Amino acid sequence: MSIRKIALLTGGGDCPGLNPAIKSATKKALLHGIEVLGIRDGWKGIVEGTQEYLMPLHADVVRHIDRQGGTILGTSRTNPFKLDKGPEKILANLKKHQIDALIAIGGEDTLGVAHKLFSEHKVPVVGIPKTIDRDLGGTDYTLGFESALEIITDSVDILRSTAESHARIFVVEIMGRHAGHLALRGGISAGASITLIPEVPFDLQKVCDLLAARKARGIRYSIVCVAEGALPKQGGEILASGEKDAFGHVRLGGIAEWLAQEISARTKLECRSVNLSHLQRGGKPVAFDRRLGFYLGIAAVEAVLNKQFGMMASLTNGKIVLKSLSEAVGALRLVNVKEAYDQVYYQAKRSILGVQEV
Amino acid sequence: MSIRKIALLTGGGDCPGLNPAIKSATKKALLHGIEVLGIRDGWKGIVEGTQEYLMPLHADVVRHIDRQGGTILGTSRTNPFKLDKGPEKILANLKKHQIDALIAIGGEDTLGVAHKLFSEHKVPVVGIPKTIDRDLGGTDYTLGFESALEIITDSVDILRSTAESHARIFVVEIMGRHAGHLALRGGISAGASITLIPEVPFDLQKVCDLLAARKARGIRYSIVCVAEGALPKQGGEILASGEKDAFGHVRLGGIAEWLAQEISARTKLECRSVNLSHLQRGGKPVAFDRRLGFYLGIAAVEAVLNKQFGMMASLTNGKIVLKSLSEAVGALRLVNVKEAYDQVYYQAKRSILGVQEV
Amino acid sequence: MSIRKIALLTGGGDCPGLNPAIKSATKKALLHGIEVLGIRDGWKGIVEGTQEYLMPLHADVVRHIDRQGGTILGTSRTNPFKLDKGPEKILANLKKHQIDALIAIGGEDTLGVAHKLFSEHKVPVVGIPKTIDRDLGGTDYTLGFESALEIITDSVDILRSTAESHARIFVVEIMGRHAGHLALRGGISAGASITLIPEVPFDLQKVCDLLAARKARGIRYSIVCVAEGALPKQGGEILASGEKDAFGHVRLGGIAEWLAQEISARTKLECRSVNLSHLQRGGKPVAFDRRLGFYLGIAAVEAVLNKQFGMMASLTNGKIVLKSLSEAVGALRLVNVKEAYDQVYYQAKRSILGVQEV
Amino acid sequence: MSIRKIALLTGGGDCPGLNPAIKSATKKALLHGIEVLGIRDGWKGIVEGTQEYLMPLHADVVRHIDRQGGTILGTSRTNPFKLDKGPEKILANLKKHQIDALIAIGGEDTLGVAHKLFSEHKVPVVGIPKTIDRDLGGTDYTLGFESALEIITDSVDILRSTAESHARIFVVEIMGRHAGHLALRGGISAGASITLIPEVPFDLQKVCDLLAARKARGIRYSIVCVAEGALPKQGGEILASGEKDAFGHVRLGGIAEWLAQEISARTKLECRSVNLSHLQRGGKPVAFDRRLGFYLGIAAVEAVLNKQFGMMASLTNGKIVLKSLSEAVGALRLVNVKEAYDQVYYQAKRSILGVQEV
């Protein structure tokens, strides 16, 4: 049976790079005479399967989208396996709309669903990895990561003028609840003095000591990059919002706000926090994400043409290859702290506190 | 007595545009054979008067600074009138360092001090207005305002990709405790659906109703710009952090975070908040602030040459003119709500809730 | 007779700010129950008057356009007075499509046509000024100007890293055949050492002497901003492409390329040219152009509502007012060289060669 | 003998990423107690060897440089092998200043010199690859490439507003005399319709036919990316400036200008050219170049510590490794056209003319 119609969907948090992948997959499929159907709002759209969730993708529809962030298909966090007969509805809708194969663009949750649909229900699906967290297995890159790094780097550049004018410390909160890839590389790109990641619980007093030592050496300001999921060694367990922390302070907002308060209290230095929040995942894709979106979109359609289902287009060792979805979603990919220390941190003894403790 | 040496200082919160003003004032003074001394860290520097607070400004020092945000002189919020013998120390240090005139670049606090030093102590001072809040009297423009608007506009552009992909409402918090100029023009520039400013207490239910109505008309997302000092008509008085608000919810963080919670609770629509925070006041100056910095710096030195002390360089009705410092700091300049409504708001009936209520 | 339907068109070179004006005029008119018809491709569209040139403007059509550069209506340089029965065709089409009033957004040519249509044919027209050249009468601002300045400033910032690394002079060509507003303010914003404008023929040898003197003082590089229409005092008349100039060199490309060759030859310093060309007029509008587009669009519709035809929405002395189209197009507005010298040029003796000669 | 002092130099054209490499190499060396000496202006500086060409690099000197484009060390195109006793002078100066090892950051010319100094004169040298052309052997990445791609992509985004408003074709000239990497990936990132590279002589008539066909299909505008060294199959040999080409036209400026003239003449479509010129190699480094600069700088110092001279830090298959300088400079790395076609071009049949002909 040859492929005559495919469907595309995007799931989970949006990011720059989705639209380039949608464009290239669409154009590649059209080149091979394959019809392309966009599914709106992630897995929800194909569970529902009604007309409002279907968006035929022609060349004209995708022509301009590679310059836009987000996803023209919309997205949701719907997990069909948590819905009554979710997988069955998907199967029925694939059949109803004569969809021969499905390309799912997403992170751990979305591709986890894709993997289960393939392995448990024989759905002919191919994945494309995206997440600014870069915490998927089976690939060295996930769409959106480089664009997020660029915004982080630009934002820290912006904060430096105030940090320097006021001789202040800035603590910048970066996305990443479990994995520190974005904070780690954001910290390197932005030239942070200290980077704190979830993989390495940090010693609050050492952070403060380092900042005080920098000040004593005549350095006017410091930048601390902290992943939202980073925790101090002591008291980390009670950092819930509104509660008192191990130091007897009411915890407000995120880790950066808490950390800035602690640093101010302990060092008597002026310290402020900024949470980059949703700014990190929006905006237009940088050139790197446009290209990677193109490459991965093409590779996914080639996998469909070759009926290599259950696979994911991947960047591995600098090459575009296919990896199994099971490898992608098997385990959350965390920062390899030892490797990071060995390869990257020239100033590890002083600057990267978490990593220093390894 | 001719002017042989002047001093420059910057006070209060930093912003883009200070360095262009420092550069142009320095070069203009040097052109007239006048020596220029930079004072570090605002009023604190001239109260102290020691060598570490003095920075001679030559052509080489200022050559590259106009492209940088913040202030190479550093800044502080020190008010000499709250220090023991602050004004007397300033007078002594002006004499000691043979400073014939002082140019103070700042907002309400800094220029308020300048005004008192002039009127009560005969200090020969000229002011240059800066504040991203644009809430000074006596001028239509304050340095930093346009650069802040550009960052706000860019940030909202960035947030739109996520807002559209996820069909979300975003509430964006913008600086402005008392005056809504930045939120108002930020909201216009960024194309916000609703803008809330301190000058007009808002009706929370109407905000929610408008957002729900937009959704019902098929508009996928909405942007709400809210000044940090905007308050709801009801319950505004108890919006202190950590306390319960009029609706029985614990207030966390700023107005945007609170508002997003309320909107979500009342409309059942997905709503998130982002506080642009310090990002608004950093970064390099836009072309407008570079030019205005140049013009105002030159005008301030011309005022010094003409011994027009107690005055401030100002943009009024499109022209660079001098205004008295007393006019600048007499009263906080708030948004003229009636004028704003009449001139600006084409969609007032639906969109600008605060203003709508006038 | 009340206004029930208006038409909008954009003519001449595109620029950022047109779409915000289209959006605000459309929304303001819709608020008053007026139907809005977009005319494609400038005057050509209304001369033709066929369906392909008509684009009904609803709220949904204009919702997102304020973030985009250029014009969704398209544009052309068609002059109906140079076509056979052009004005008559316009009158017929206005009648045919029941258009009660016309808003024309454009520069000297487009508004010149608007003025003639009004004065000679009683066409009920209101203008909105746009041109990155800012050479219209009757207004202190024309849409697109500030966005162009921002790109010029950013571009020079970019060129500085190469200029400094290689110790080179860069000559940057800026738009402006007759008026030097863009080069002048671009040069100020970008911190150029020398700015050359059409209004002041420059002395090539003095340009070279100044650049050599800067080098001798230890300044590693210099930036020269030159308007495309600037000419040297000597030999300017034979600067046609491909011909030999007064110095016996074949003239290739624009003034910047020629100037860079001459500077290299005379000073033996490394000198390169860059023509910013079309980059200056593209891209998204800066916050300033978005706001001004909004204000001018609203003012134009208010003029229509008040039947103040033959007028143009204008920014004059910091206020949005109406001016007659005859004032706008009466004479090309050139740089007031004396005023520029008096108000702006703190370093005139050394840096702004053209102006220096006044 | 242990390493006690190293020297760093940058040669050839500047680009973003040099300063991050200088910073990380300096900090890594200082961490190991090694003294670092910057050599100004490339090979020229070490041939001269006088104090004005020496710049001691301390932590304070390099702290802020990673955010700046270009190179704080300055650069030149001096080739010591073309100077009288150039290599001997270098040897003498290394000895005189007690430099134990040299890190040279550069492209083909600079690293070619490094290779010869190592192989013929036993100079202990390690290389770091940089060039926006990405035409070196032995590495998958050269510093500056991604920053240049970002500027190209942004610039084409900017040009699109004018292209669409005026229904024009834009021909964009991109650096690359011999290798088409930058134009190829720039064209992909920017979404060009046609990309022309030196490796594949193009058929001018087919370019015109494709553009005409796009117009006929209702596509309002097209973007053509052309490397400066791309040539038409016919008449390419006589494209010298000022001469007549195979079509009898006087050749002015670069390939883009010529191509735009030809396209206009043959298709009667409006077509303009823009040469991105020096804008491509300036400006601040993107996050990717900051990180790669850091990684490569560290790897080069580690090579020095391990006395692996004659080597170059390289990104190969996604890993930072060492490669021999001989591999780097052995042969210019051109685009592998077959591979490019197979992997990348989903729309090859229609769009990538050069490649199409393979």
Q: Is B13 helix (H, G, I), strand (E, B) or coil?
A: coil
The C-alpha atoms of residue B338 and residue D118 are separated, in whole angstroms, by 77
Strands B194-196 and B101-106 turn out to be unpaired
pLDDT of the residue at A339: 72
- A133 counts as catalytic: yes
D66 pLDDT tier (thresholds 50, 70, 90): very high
pLDDT of the residue at D235: 55
Is residue D246 pLDDT above 60, yes or no?
no
Whether the CB of C115 is below 8 Å from some CB of chain B: the reply is no
> Hey, of B55, B78, B223, B278, which one would you mutate to test binding to chain A, going by the most A CBs within 10 A of its CB?
B278
Whether the CB of D158 is below 8 Å from some CB of chain C: the reply is yes
Provide the annotated active-site residues of D: 133
Q: Cβ–Cβ of B158/A252 closer than 8 Å? A: no
Q: How far is D355 from chain C (nearest CA, A)?
A: 28
The residues facing A313 across adjacent strands are A322
Is residue C235 pLDDT above 80, yes or no?
no
Asked if C106 and B196 touch (Cβ cutoff 8 Å), the reply is no
Q: Cβ–Cβ of A242/B242 closer than 8 Å? A: yes
Report yes or no on chains A and C touching (3+ CB pairs under 8 A).
no
pLDDT of the residue at D21: 97
Residue C349: list chain B partners with CB under 8 A.
Answer: 31
In this complex, which of B70, B252, B283 lies closest to A242 when CB atoms are compared? B252
Tokens 């950066």, residue? A256
Whether the CB of C258 is below 8 Å from some CB of chain D: the reply is no
Strands A319-324 and A311-316 turn out to be antiparallel
Whether the CB of D257 is below 8 Å from some CB of chain A: the reply is no
Q: What is the DSSP letter of A237?
A: G
pLDDT of the residue at B340: 73
Residue D41: list chain C partners with CB under 8 A.
Answer: 167
Q: Cβ–Cβ of C191/B290 closer than 8 Å? A: yes
For C316-337, what is each residue's pLDDT tens digit?
999 999 999 999 999 899 998 8
Tokens 């015109």, residue? D208
- Those of residues 43-102 in B touching chain A at CB distance below 8 A are 68-71, 74-76
Task: Give the neighbours of chain D: at least 3 Cβ pairs within 8 Å.
Answer: A, C
Task: Give the neighbours of chain C: at least 3 Cβ pairs within 8 Å.
Answer: B, D
For D303-333, what is each residue's pLDDT tens digit?
999 999 999 999 999 999 999 999 999 989 9
How many other CB atoms are found less than 10 A from the CB of residue A270? Answer: 15
Q: How far is A342 from chain B (nearest CA, A)?
A: 34
Q: Is B101 helix (H, G, I), strand (E, B) or coil?
A: strand
Residue A343: list chain D partners with CB under 8 A.
Answer: 295, 298, 320
Is residue C110 pLDDT above 90, yes or no?
yes
Strands A5-10 and A101-106 turn out to be parallel
Asked if A110 and A312 touch (Cβ cutoff 8 Å), the reply is no
The residues facing D46 across adjacent strands are none
Q: Which residues of chain B have pLDDT under 50?
A: 236-240, 249-250, 346-351, 353-358
pLDDT of the residue at B201: 87
How many other CB atoms are found less than 10 A from the CB of residue B337? Answer: 18
| Phi/psi at C151 (5° precision) | -65, -40
Q: Cβ–Cβ of A294/D346 closer than 8 Å? A: yes
> Hey, of A6, A103, A147, A189, which one would you mutate to test binding to chain D, going by the most D CBs within 10 A of its CB?
A189
Radius of gyration of chain A measured on its C-alpha atoms: 22
For D208-243, what is each residue's pLDDT tens digit?
999 999 999 999 999 999 999 999 987 544 344 555
In this complex, which of A70, A164, A274 lies closest to B277 when CB atoms are compared? A274
Whether the CB of D298 is below 8 Å from some CB of chain A: the reply is yes
Mean pLDDT of chain C: 90
Tell me the two tokens of residue C156. 């020079």
Residue A69: list chain B partners with CB under 8 A.
Answer: 158, 161-162
Tell me the two tokens of residue C343. 């108000």
Intra-chain end-to-end CA distance of chain A, in Å? 55
A41, A133, A245, A289: which is the annotated catalytic residue?
Answer: A133
Asked if D218 and D232 touch (Cβ cutoff 8 Å), the reply is no
Tell me the two tokens of residue C18. 């047109």
Q: Cβ–Cβ of B343/C140 closer than 8 Å? A: no
Q: How far is A188 from chain B (nearest CA, A)?
A: 19
Asked if C313 and C334 touch (Cβ cutoff 8 Å), the reply is no
B66, B133, B135, B245: which is the annotated catalytic residue?
Answer: B133
pLDDT of the residue at C340: 73
Among residues D123, D105, D122, which one has the least CA distance to residue D14? D105
Distance of CA B122 to the CA centre of its chain: 28
The C-alpha atoms of residue B148 and residue D143 are separated, in whole angstroms, by 33
C194-196, strands of its sheet edge to edge: C194-196, C222-227, C169-174, C271-275
Q: Cβ–Cβ of A161/B14 closer than 8 Å? A: yes
Q: How far is A16 from chain D (nearest CA, A)?
A: 13
Q: Cβ–Cβ of A320/D343 closer than 8 Å? A: yes
Cα-based distances in Å from D324 to B122, D137, D310, D314: 72, 10, 6, 9
Is residue D356 pLDDT above 90, yes or no?
no
A49-55 contacts at long range (C-beta below 8 A, 24 or more positions apart): A49/A89, A49/A92, A49/A93, A49/A96, A49/A97, A54/A97
Cα-based distances in Å from D159 to B41, B308, D148: 44, 49, 16
The C-alpha atoms of residue A9 and residue A102 are separated, in whole angstroms, by 8
Least confident of B347-356, D32-41, D242-251: B347-356
Residue D103: list chain A partners with CB under 8 A.
Answer: none
**Domains of chain A listed by start with CATH number:** 5-144+285-329 (3.40.50.450), 146-281 (3.40.50.460)
Inter-chain CB pairs, C–D, below 8 Å: 113
Residue B214's identity, in one-letter code, is R
Q: Tell me which H or E stretch contains A35.
A: strand A35-39
Whether the CB of B33 is below 8 Å from some CB of chain C: the reply is no
For B183-225, what is each residue's pLDDT tens digit?
999 999 999 989 999 988 888 988 999 899 999 999 999 999 9
Report yes or no on chains D and A touching (3+ CB pairs under 8 A).
yes
Residue B28's identity, in one-letter code, is K
Residues 6 or more apart whose Cβ sits within 8 Å of residue B209: none
Q: Tell me which H or E stretch contains D182.
A: helix D181-190
For C278-302, what is each residue's pLDDT tens digit?
999 999 999 999 999 999 999 999 9
Q: Cβ–Cβ of D162/C284 closer than 8 Å? A: no
pLDDT of the residue at A14: 95
Q: Is B153 helix (H, G, I), strand (E, B) or coil?
A: helix
Intra-chain end-to-end CA distance of chain B, in Å? 54
Task: Give the neighbours of chain A: at least 3 Cβ pairs within 8 Å.
Answer: B, D
- Helix intervals (H) in chain A: 18-31, 43-48, 59-62, 86-96, 108-121, 145-166, 181-190, 204-216, 255-267, 287-305, 325-329, 337-344, 353-356
> Hey, of A346, A347, A349, A352, which one would you mutate to test binding to chain D, going by the most D CBs within 10 A of its CB?
A346
The residues facing D55 across adjacent strands are D38
How many other CB atoms are found less than 10 A from the CB of residue C338? Answer: 10
**Helix-helix angle C86-96:C108-121, to 10 degrees:** 80
Q: How far is C194 from chain B (nearest CA, A)?
A: 14
The C-alpha atoms of residue B208 and residue B264 are separated, in whole angstroms, by 9
pLDDT of the residue at D243: 54
The residues facing A35 across adjacent strands are A5
pLDDT of the residue at C200: 87
Q: Cβ–Cβ of C282/D16 closer than 8 Å? A: no
In this complex, which of B185, B291, B318 lies closest to C185 when CB atoms are compared? B291
The C-alpha atoms of residue C207 and residue C205 are separated, in whole angstroms, by 5
The residues facing D321 across adjacent strands are D314
Mean pLDDT of chain D: 90
Q: Cβ–Cβ of B189/C150 closer than 8 Å? A: no
Q: How far is C3 from chain B (nearest CA, A)?
A: 17
Q: What is the pTM of this model?
A: 0.94
Asked if D107 and D100 touch (Cβ cutoff 8 Å), the reply is no
Whether the CB of D146 is below 8 Å from some CB of chain A: the reply is yes
How many other CB atoms are found less than 10 A from the CB of residue C89? Answer: 17
- Those of residues 177-216 in C touching chain B at CB distance below 8 A are 185-186, 188-191
Q: Which residues of chain A have pLDDT under 70?
A: 234-253, 342-358
Whether the CB of B158 is below 8 Å from some CB of chain C: the reply is no
The C-alpha atoms of residue D53 and residue D96 are separated, in whole angstroms, by 14
Is residue C151 pLDDT above 90, yes or no?
yes
- Those of residues 8-27 in D touching chain A at CB distance below 8 A are 24, 27
Least confident of A339-348, C236-245, D2-11, D149-158: C236-245
Q: Which residue of D has its CA nearest to C148?
A: D158
Q: Cβ–Cβ of C27/B346 closer than 8 Å? A: yes
In this complex, which of D164, D166, D252 lies closest to C241 when CB atoms are compared? D252
pLDDT above 90: percentage of residues in chain C: 82
